Structure 1
Amino acid sequence: MKDKRKRKPQKAVVVPEENNNEEKNFVFGHHATVEALQAGRGNKLFLQEDARGEKIEQLKGLAQTQAVPVKWVPKQKLDTLSDHGVHQGMLLAITPYEYLTLDGLLEQTTAEAPFLLILDSLEDPHNFGSILRTADASGVNGVIIPKHRSVGITPVVTKASTGAVEYVPIARVTNLSQAIKQLKDAGYWVFGTDMEGTDYRQWKVDGPIALIIGNEGRGMSAGLKKDVDEMLTIPMTGHVQSLNAGVAAGLLMFEVLRKRSGS
């Protein structure tokens, strides 16, 4: 592993979401709406006109605190805005999500032994949201995604993450291979996932590390496999020799937490 080079301090730059379509600027469901309001990203809160209860009162209070206007609308309106998602009678119009640059992510990652996750062209928003939720729970310091041919932060991702999207820093990059080179130059060991490799239970997780999770169907791209320091595998005994990307990512994230906590 290369010695960690001194990095010139840089401003933590954010990259605004380019596609500002209205449909991508909503979150819905209780947890996602609460977290977005508390993060100061709310523009207008839509509540179902006949909705009542403690959760509704909580949202009204948060909206008032954040000076976010509240509009009572029919359920049909919420169904349309959420694309018939499970909105629970609440939906929040938000400012577009702001991604970090890789420089910005590295600058704000101050952990002694940071752990980053690289998602190689993940396409399923539910998988992405689930991974973000697990990343927050297991202490991952940041997530890196490609700018093209990959799911970004959408209402479905936000809801599936139960608000974790507001806590896990996400960098979006143009080229994952270049990003991996930059991570190596910064002193990171980069690990990939495949059917063949080192048993993940033997994984050495000391120091700065980055883990690549491949596409749901194709796995890791061939180009990235040449860039990693070591491939990891999860031994299986069943008839189906593959795991859902979110499940595999969760198992590996908690393995790092387990090893680093000494349990």
Structure 2
Amino acid sequence: MATGNQRRRGARTSNKKGAVVGSGGQRRKQLKGRGPTPRAEDRVGHVASRRAARDAKEGSAASGRGGSGRPGPSRRPKGSTEMVAGRNSVLEALRTHIPASTLFVASRMESDDRVREAITLATEQGVAVLEAPKAEMDRLTDGAVHQGLALQVPPYEYAHPDDLLDVELPGLPLIVALDGVTDPRNLGAIIRSVAAFGGHGVVVPSRRSVGMTASAWKTAAGAAARIPVAQATNLTRALEAYRKAGFFVVGLDADGDVELPGLALADRPLVVVVGSEGKGLSRLVRETCDQIVSIPMAGVTESLNAGIAAAVTLYEIRRSRQTR
């Protein structure tokens, strides 16, 4: 009489060597490794793969358009949506009318005056108000401290550099171009100074440069709603186009040939180029400028940041134009 596993079909019935019924090594083959797991971008059908393919397609289309006579595409959205998180930050963004699409409010959270005012302002400005559970709020804000409030800011719609030639504002044309500036707070401060001192617009490069983020909108304190920001695929070509249109291009640099109070070109249509605090103006941009201007400072002082340098220069140009 068979006992135990001997009753199982295909079980060994003898301890002697020889052919027996079994898996034939198939289980060992199943356990064999299949190599490293492919990246998400390389997996067909994966959301990361579809996103990478879409980004590559958009980049190819942008490079194709960049070869035309215009420095870049006109009025095209750039970047992705941003989330402003935290009660104070969201409330300040709504008070300064930062363009927003959705206000997310956490479910079952303890409300206060800031939350109530944020919901009221969002409703008045036509911003959708959605309730979301805490886990969803954490995901939307990428783990930031949101305190139950998050504001979604859509991609900024940039102007074309040529559009700034048609801006209908009083006074001689005055444009500020940024070369290598990467801090959005500097961009916001410059936009605010352009509005304060009679400027007509700001130009930023499309690569290796700051863009119109929520932080830039916040620092601009509402001025970004009045001052257009253009994006140039190639800043040097954009500056050359301005020169052909009758502008003089001046660059700010500590080793400038002309000091700011003696800027004879102040009463002409101007493009003021502001470089990064660390590297200053790039070589090609510097060679495109008609003059390199420095800001005189007393004693040994570190260089001014881009926002302050632009404000001082724009003030001096404004003062010079009013006294001539």
- CA distance change for structure 1 residues 165 and 110 in 2, over 3 Å: closer, same or farther? closer
CA RMSD of aligned residues (A): 3.0
Q: Tell me what 1:216 maps to.
A: 277
1:158-237 equivalences in 2 (<5 Å): 158-196=217-255, 197-204=257-264, 205-237=266-298
For structure 2, which runs of at least 5 residues remain unmatched after alignment? 1-72
Match of 1:46 among 104, 116, 129: 104
Please give the secondary structure, in 1, of the residue aligned with 2:310.
helix
- CA distance change for structure 1 residues 89 and 153 in 2, over 3 Å: closer, same or farther? farther
- Separation of aligned partners in 2, 1:125 and 1:92: 18
Moved more, 42-51 or 153-162: 42-51
* Identical pairs, percent: 32
Q: Tell me what 1:140 maps to.
A: 199
Q: Is the 8 A contact 1:33 1:90 kept in 2?
A: no
Please give the secondary structure, in 2, of the residue aligned with 1:36.
coil
> Which of 1 and 2 has higher RCO (CA within 8 Å, sep 6+)?
1
- CA distance change for structure 1 residues 45 and 96 in 2, over 3 Å: closer, same or farther? same
- Separation of aligned partners in 2, 1:50 and 1:191: 54
- Separation of aligned partners in 1, 2:118 and 2:322: 37
Report deviation, 1:184: 0.8
For structure 1, which runs of at least 5 residues remain unmatched after alignment? 1-11
Q: Is the 8 A contact 1:82 1:91 kept in 2?
A: no
Report deviation, 1:79: 10
Query: Does residue 81 of structure 1 match 2:141?
Result: yes
Please give the secondary structure, in 2, of the residue aligned with 1:150.
coil
- Separation of aligned partners in 1, 2:274 and 2:134: 38
Q: Tell me what 1:243 maps to.
A: 304
Report deviation, 1:109: 4.4
Give the aligned residue type for 2:101.
N
Residue deviations 1:218-243, cap 9 Å, x none? Answer: 00011111111111111123223422
Q: Tell me what 1:4 maps to.
A: none
Query: Does residue 252 of structure 1 match 2:313?
Result: yes
Report deviation, 1:103: 1.7
Q: Is the 8 A contact 2:172 2:269 kept in 1?
A: yes
Give the aligned residue type for 2:319.
R
Give the aligned residue type for 1:104.
D
- Separation of aligned partners in 2, 1:262 and 1:79: 56
Query: Does residue 99 of structure 1 match 2:158?
Result: yes
Give the aligned residue type for 1:186.
A
Residue deviations 1:170-224, cap 9 Å, x none? Answer: 0000111111111111111111111222110112311311100001210001111
- Separation of aligned partners in 2, 1:82 and 1:249: 34
In the superposition, the TM-score normalised over structure 2's length comes to 0.66
Q: Is the 8 A contact 1:15 1:98 kept in 2?
A: yes
Q: Provide runs of 4+ in structure 1 moved above 6 Å.
A: 73-76
Q: Tell me what 2:208 maps to.
A: 149
- Separation of aligned partners in 2, 1:141 and 1:82: 37
Please give the secondary structure, in 2, of the residue aligned with 1:46.
strand
Report deviation, 1:42: 2.7
Higher fraction of helix: 2
Give the aligned residue type for 2:246.
G
Q: Is the 8 A contact 1:192 1:230 kept in 2?
A: yes
In the superposition, the TM-score normalised over structure 1's length comes to 0.79
